[in-house]
Every structure is written in structure tokens, then in C-alpha cells.
Amino acid sequence: MREGFVSCHSPQGFHRMAYYEWGPPDAEKILLCVHGLTRTGRDFDFIAAALADRYRVVCPDVAGRGQSEWLGDGALYNNRKYVADMATLIAALGVEQVDWLGTSMGGLIGMLMASVPGNPIRRMIVNDVGPYVPKAALDRIDSYLGVEFRFKDLWQAGRHVREAYTTFGNLTEPQWDHLTRHSVRETEDGSYVLCYDPAIATPFKAGPIEALDIWESWDAIDCPVLVLRGRDTDLLLSETVQEMTSRGPKTNVIEFQHCGHAPSLMEPHQIEAIRRWLAAEM
């Protein structure tokens, strides 16, 4: 794994966005993996390592998460800003096309980018998210987003991670430990806090929460799409998936058992399903 940074612009100035890179730097195909709302690019370590034999896999920490810098204005933490940052990253990589794998928020960013004329996305995988997100799921996210948890040690942090992300699926202890290490950062007093800026909650707190609806963007996408869904998810409704397959881009769907929002993409059968779809050129 290699680490890098790219400088992105916002009305508050420039900020550094970190990314992690796997596979040959000169690989013909690029897979850009973008994480969920409170997560980091290190969520993709397992699948990135598995696909590095045929892809250059790039996994950024979205602004305000992981090793990326925090933004000076919490209102800037929005999907449109993230699209601009990803465009900057793709330009910095020196490539014209990428395949996209986005979990939750990362899938929304991908859908918005893929709906723009001349966009660089060749094929797209969206993990447990669609162009409609119900209010109930957003209310659930709002209930914990921005809460400043503090843990006395990594063991306590690990208990929190296992409880907060139990819907990720049947992970092994090493996988839970991996998620824990990359979900927190150590403070000066030796305690641990979650490694994202609490201000990412600002857009959620700005007004009444309503269901998210970007069907107009979905209808404008023309690249092939694979939708992944956790069987027990509350964020990607089955009726949303049905509508996604009846309008917009050519779409395939895979549902994973024993998980909700969102499949971890760490389990071998999940990784193999993604590998097969990427290998089947359309």
C-alpha cells in the first residue's frame, strides 16, 4: 500500500485529502473506492488487496475523515463538494477514466458525478445506497452523527465499533480490530476519539430532515451499474432497488445475506462477487 495526498480547493482555502493506493501504478484500469459518511478509505483494505492484481485501486479519505484535513466551515461537508474533490483526485492521478466503488455516501457521490456530461466513470458499483434514502434512515444517522465519543483505550473503542457497525455483517476478530484501528485516533491524553470532524453533522442539523431524492441524477447516468444491498438494510429499500432496475442505467443487483447497512466488502464471497462483475466487460 502506498499513501498520498492531493490538494483540493474550497471557499475556505485549500485542504489536503489523503488517499491510499494499491496495485501497479501503471495499471490500465483504475478502481476508485469511496467510503461512507463516518468511515475512511481504510475500509477498503481487504478488497483493494484482493483486486490489486488487475487494478490500480485508490481509496481516499473524504475531507474531514481519517488522515484528510478538516474543513473550516461545516456547511461545506456536502456531496457536491465531495464530487469536486474526487474530480481533483482523478485529475491528479493523471487518468481519464475510473471504475467506481462507493459505499453509502460514496455511492451517492458516484451517482452525482456519473450524472454529469463528460464524467470519467466507466462502470460503477454502489454499496447499499440508491437515489432515494428514506427519512427514517436519515433520522437514525442524525441521532448519532456529531456525537463526540471518547474512549479510554482501544478495547473500549473496539466495543463501540462492534456495536455501532454490527450491521456490517459477520466479521472476524482481525477485521473488527482493523476497523477499530482506523475508526479512532489517539489524543494527547492517551484517550481515543472517532477520526472524523464532528462538524460533518452540520448539514444534518441545518434544518428539518427530509428523504433524499436524486432520481433526476440517476436517470442521467449511462454507465453500467452494480447495486449491492444488505438484506436487512433500512437505507436501501427493496422498492427503491426495483425502481432502479426499471429506469436509468443498465443495472445489476446482488443482495448479501446476514448484513444490513452496509455490507463490509471484507468477506470473501462479497469480494468475489465484485471481482466477477468487474471482470465481465459490458
What pTM does this model have?
Answer: 0.98
Backbone Cα Rg of the chain: 18
H/E element, 218: helix 215-220
In this prediction, residue 12 carries a pLDDT of: 85
Cell numbers found for residue 83: 464530487
Q: What average pLDDT does the structure give for the chain? A: 97
Residue 149: pLDDT band with limits 50, 70, 90: very high
- Domain architecture of the chain: domains with CATH: 2-135+213-279 (3.40.50.1820)
Mean pLDDT to the nearest integer, 46-67: 98
Instruction: Check if the beta carbon of residue 119 is closer than 8 Å to that of residue 109.
Output: no
What pLDDT is recorded for position 45? 98
Query: Quick one: CA torsion of 246, 131, 100, 184, rounded to 10 degrees?
Result: -150
Q: What is the pLDDT of residue 194?
A: 97
- Residue 146 pLDDT greater than 90, yes or no: no
The pLDDT assigned to 108 comes to 98
Residues 179-184 have a mean pLDDT of 98
Q: In the block, which residue shows the cell 465481465?
A: 280
Is the model more confident about 61 or about 207? 61
Q: Looking at residues 261-282, what average pLDDT do you find?
A: 93
Locate 25 and state its grid cell.
Answer: 501504478
What pLDDT, in 10s, does the model give residues 265-274?
999 999 999 9
Phi, psi of 252 (to 5 degrees): -105, 155
pLDDT over 90 percentage in the chain: 96
Res 63 pLDDT > 60: yes
Per-residue pLDDT band at 282 (split at 50, 70, 90) = very low
The answer to whether the beta carbons of residues 92 and 120 sit under 8 Å apart is no
Burial call 139-162: b when 16+ CB within 10 Å, e when fewer: eebeeebbeeeebeeeebbbebbe
* pLDDT tens-digit map of 218-235: 999 999 999 999 999 999
pLDDT in tens, 83-135: 999 999 999 999 999 999 999 999 999 999 999 999 999 999 999 999 999 99
Give the residue carrying C-alpha cell 494527547.
188
Read off the C-alpha cell for 254: 446482488
Determine the pLDDT at residue 48: 98
pLDDT tens-digit readout, 188-210? 999 999 999 999 999 999 989 99
d(CA 249, CA 117): 14
